[in-house]
Chain A
Amino acid sequence: MALPGDNLLEVEDLRVSFATESGVAKVLDGVNLTIRPGEIMGLVGESGCGKTTLANAILGILARNARHEAGTIRFGGEDLLAMPRRRIEDEVRGRRITFIPQDPYGSFNPLFPIGTQTMEVMKWKSPHRAAGEGRGVAGFFSRYPRARRRSDAAAVSQMLRAVQIPDRDAAFVKLPHEFSGGQRQRLMIALALLPQPQLVIADEPTTALDVTIQVQILKLLKQLAKKSGVSVLFTTHDLGTAYEICDRITVMYAGQEVETAPVDDFFRRPHHPYTVRLLESLPRPGRELREIGGEIPGLISPPAGCRFHPRCARATDVCRAERPPVAALGGGHEVRCYHPIAEATPA
């Protein structure tokens, strides 16, 4: 497929707001994000910064009270926001873009065995399913062609082995609660990769797990993603996790992206004051903790200009007036700040 500018996904100036009881919350306010084919893109930010909203917007599963104000999400050259719903359901969501949820405990139906749930996904989202299959009469009876079922089942076995659940038949008859959290997350990874997508959106997939299991899952996800060449959008609030798995990182603050850089450059030479303060608030040996000070602004009436300015020591009048433009610093490092920290302490 021809990909303009070599990007698989381009989010441009996306604005999404939510109507709430106390007013309109501008949760995404001009977000830009790109994902190249085959890369693991980290979307880092604190809770409430809009990273989950962005992930949901790409998947087209925003809540009812959400409103798309402006901007585009171009995936493989096409604007997802302008695509007919039917096509999104048929070709994109769950097929070319899949999802790994944060909570492996609540994401399976507790009443059905894993096998039923896996084959249900394959029935509709298998890469071998023809585009129009299952419409009309066949759709009414919701038929699963036998030949495809057999080949899909073989693909499932192979994928389960890849996520280190070797015995498919034993796994298929078990209910979700019979698996540990780590195993359930392995199953989720399998389900996300089975449709052979181009992009997997992983929303904090390791937050609910123990440290040793967390590393195992990260290792698995990284290895499988690199092997199959799929792109991953990995949202996390944990900079350590992002360092482990990502190729590039975008930091979001209060609904806007503030800095984007390749991972090593990001940790060695952070330029945005928020990124620097965020790195300083990580507990690390031989360093004093520093808090950022102040609180994350409310999104109903956010500060004008750069949204970080009320907490920023370097803020001047221009920061209060207008959002800084993107400054390219070379090597793919981009920062949105009028007064970037030139020589930050290396991380």
Chain B
Amino acid sequence: MSDAPILQVDTLSRHFPVRNMLGWKTGAVRALDGVSFEVRSGETLGIVGESGCGKSTLGKALVGIHPPGGGRIVFEGKDITGQSANERRAVAPKLQYCYQDPGNSLDPRWTVRRSLAEPLVVHTALTPSDRNARIAKIMQQVGLPLTHLDLYPHELSGGQQRRVGLARILTLHPRLVVLDEPTSGLDVSVQASVLMLLRELQRAFSLTYLFISHDLSVVRMMCDRVAVMYLGRIVELAPTETLFAAAKHPYSQSLLSAIPDIGGRRVTDTFTLEGEPPDPARPPSGCRFRTRCPRAAPVCAETDPALRPITPAQSAACVFA
């Protein structure tokens, strides 16, 4: 892992309008609200948070599926915010997004072969025979038999569909892959093999991963650094070991205390966090976590804490951190 950032994200925001029955804009869901971080070449950066915290929007904003409303995205030293579709095409093969549910993101009426060929047709000038060679190679690398090339997505198991989803992306030799919940909905035994494959591919293709997940035990196993998100903001960013040993933000602490510890104490006996995340269209004033925070004080309603470094490696957005 080198320290050069492959991706720099600066105060990225994305608001979705809330409209009433007449179609008038009555408010905005701030799915992303001033998110800044860096991804270093070769690392795996985990993005964790509960549903609605904006982690998927972040992944989609990075690859241009949701154009960001504000802020800057710098990929390999080049500002890619607000690029035209043509300019984007040059970047797209290097910055790829892996969908959460490959069962639904693969075309049900296309064979695996056709799905795998499509990115090559769009982004490369390979001849059909070169394409086939490339497809055969990637199939072998993701651990699928060549006989599966002529199957349709519904004929594959969930784990195999994920492998096809990955193969589709990796055939372009990307530099950075955004993995959106790569193991959600999989059984543990299948999850284990997908995680092992992801690691193997990272080595083989020297990939950088942005690993979006809500499963903290998976994140702990896979990531070098972790960013914890809550209601459109990053509330803590730290190396994985540091975060799991000494989380500074009360939300990260609560999230960590919800991981079942098999053989240890029952989490249901020790867990204390009450309530549910507030409506992202109407976030509370000041610190967004204060409505659920066990340490909330009057100052939390007034000041909106920014993400600030606690140690050189760890930053948190809490006045008490």
Contacts and interface: CB of A to CB of B under 8 A. Distances in A.
B196 interface: yes
A281 B188 contact: yes
A243 B266 contact: yes
Contact of A211 (B195, B216, B268, B276): B216
B151 interface: no
Nearest to A280: B192
Interface in B182-201: 187-193, 195-196
Contact of A291 (B196, B216, B254, B271): B196
Interface residues of B, number: 34
Contact of A219 (B187, B216, B254, B268): B268
A278 B267 contact: no
B189 A210 contact: no
A295 B157 contact: yes
Given A210-B51, A213-B276, A268-B263, A282 B188 contact: yes
A243 B218 CA distance: 18
Contact of B260 (A212, A240, A277): A240
Interface string B163-199: 0000000000000000000000001111111011000
Interface in A253-299: 267-268, 277-279, 281-285, 289-292, 295
B214 interface: yes
Contacts of A46: 187-190
Contacts of A283: 191-192, 195, 215, 217-218, 220-221
Interface in A216-234: 216, 218-219, 222
Interface string B271-294: 101101000000000000000000
Contact of A180 (B187, B189, B193, B276): B276
Contact of A215 (B189, B192, B221, B268): B268
A212 B157 contact: no
Given A215-B258, A283-B195, A239 B266 contact: no
Interface residues on A, range: 35 or more
A283 B222 CA distance: 9
Contact of A284 (B196, B215, B217): B217
Given A212-B273, A237-B188, A284-B262, A218 B268 contact: yes
A182 interface: yes
A278 to B, nearest CB: 6
Given A212-B50, A218-B268, A291 B262 contact: no
A289 B196 contact: yes
A244 interface: yes
A47 interface: yes
A214 interface: yes
Nearest to B264: A243
B152 interface: no
B62 interface: no
Interface of B: 50-51, 157, 187-193, 195-196, 214-218, 220-221, 244, 254-255, 258-260, 262-263, 266-268, 271, 273-274, 276
21 contacts: A46-B188, A210-B50, A212-B50, A213-B50, A214-B258, A215-B258, A222-B268, A239-B262, A240-B217, A244-B260, A244-B268, A281-B189, A281-B191, A283-B215, A283-B220, A285-B217, A290-B192, A291-B189, A291-B193, A292-B192, A347-B263
Given A211-B216, A243-B263, A289-B221, 20 more contacts: A46-B190, A180-B276, A213-B50, A215-B271, A216-B273, A216-B274, A222-B268, A237-B187, A238-B188, A239-B188, A243-B260, A243-B262, A267-B262, A267-B263, A281-B192, A283-B195, A283-B215, A283-B220, A285-B220, A295-B157
Interface of A: 46-47, 180, 182-183, 210-216, 218-219, 222, 237-241, 243-245, 267-268, 277-279, 281-285, 289-292, 295, 346-347
